Amino acid sequence: MKNPLFPFRNPKSEIRYFNFSVLFLLFLFACSSPGREGVEEEQFAKYWYQGKAEINVFDLQQSRYGQVREGQAVMIFVTEDFSRTKQVKLDNPQDRPSDAQKVMKLNMTREFVTGVYPYHTMLSVFTPVYEETLSPKLTASVTEWCGQSFVQMNHKSGKYTAKLFSYFEEEGDAEVKINALPEEEIFNLIRLNPELVPMGNLALIPSLIFQRFAHIPLKVEQAAISKKSLGSNQSEIEVMYSNLGRKVAIRYQDFFPYEILGFTETWTKANGQQEVTTAVRTQMQLLDYWNKNEKVFEPLRKDLGL
């Protein structure tokens, strides 16, 4: 019997068509996950799958060495296809649909100066959009004139393997096994839907940037998470670590796409000294920045206040 799609019956063509059809169906299956509860797919896709990143610029008041330093923080939120096996960005997800995992990626930078020398930090968090699992990967780096430090956490086989590298002798190069919700995943959960942020007392992995700044061991700490309304369609999620004397408050718009408006970090040290860091958003743009790497686009930095 003739195949209506191939009336002149070419077996090789039919095989190619069959292979393409199977690949296409696998791709559709991979992309048609029901999503996390609370993530409205049509609304989410219309905003986050338009081929642009959301760039947020913040005025930063960073407390460091007992003094507050003026600087800038940038949060870049974007969705991308992530490899389940390699835990890196997939260059050609259409070729490996079963390995593709849609994630919300946060890249966050801070830049400020301490006296004569500058500090640069970068945090990356990759959080699944459709699967209710922990972020498969987080990385954080701190660079300044004395040296640099770096940590990478990969979630496999039910726990994180964290590799830490530092120019400080006591911190040295180390590898630890750890398992809990990473504090910095909360930023991405807010962007998916604030209702996904667990409330109450639970175990958390404190901020990787804070851990590097404070020079404390990377380990699970108990924390209390709560949420309150601030009025004017804004809410705040607060994370309190009693043992660390640390409190984090994240302010956001209480409607989709749940934009982050600012955050405050308060750390009360054992000697009673308190360090407070604040960030207040000043600019936001949706931009395909990776396509704008020529000199002609440099004025866009001024539009962002950079």
Q: Please check whether residue 251 lies inside any domain of the structure.
A: yes
Nearest to 103 by CA among 133, 77, 80, 134: 80
Q: What is the pLDDT of residues 270-306, one digit of tens each?
A: 899 999 999 999 999 999 999 999 999 999 999 999 9
Q: What is the pLDDT of residues 27-75, one digit of tens each?
A: 443 444 455 888 999 999 999 999 999 999 999 999 999 999 999 999 9
Q: Which two tokens stand for residue 42?
A: 């049509």
To which residue do tokens 């309150």 refer? 228
With a CB cutoff of 8 Å and minimum separation 6, the contacts of 168 are 147, 149, 215
Q: Please check whether residue 5 lies inside any domain of the structure.
A: no
Q: Please check whether residue 4 lies inside any domain of the structure.
A: no
Q: Please check whether residue 298 lies inside any domain of the structure.
A: yes
Cα 247–Cα 251–Cα 254 angle in degrees, nearest 5:
140
Q: What is the pLDDT of residue 35?
A: 59
Q: Please check whether residue 2 lies inside any domain of the structure.
A: no
Total domains, the chain: 1
73 DSSP β-pair partners: 58, 110
Residue 163: which region, alpha, beta or left (left: phi > 0; alpha: psi -120 to 50)? beta
pLDDT interval class at 134 (50, 70, 90): very high
- Look at 24-38, 162-176, 206-220 and tell me which has the smallest mean pLDDT: 24-38
Q: Please check whether residue 218 lies inside any domain of the structure.
A: yes
Q: Beta-strand (E) ranges in 51-133? A: 53-64, 67-83, 100-114, 117-128
Domain hosting residue 210, numbered range = 11-303
Q: Please check whether residue 3 lies inside any domain of the structure.
A: no
Strand, coil or helix: 105? strand
Q: What is the pLDDT of residues 115-133, one digit of tens each?
A: 999 999 999 999 999 999 9
| Phi, psi at 105, each rounded to 5° | -105, 130
pTM (predicted TM-score): 0.87
Q: Please check whether residue 254 lies inside any domain of the structure.
A: yes
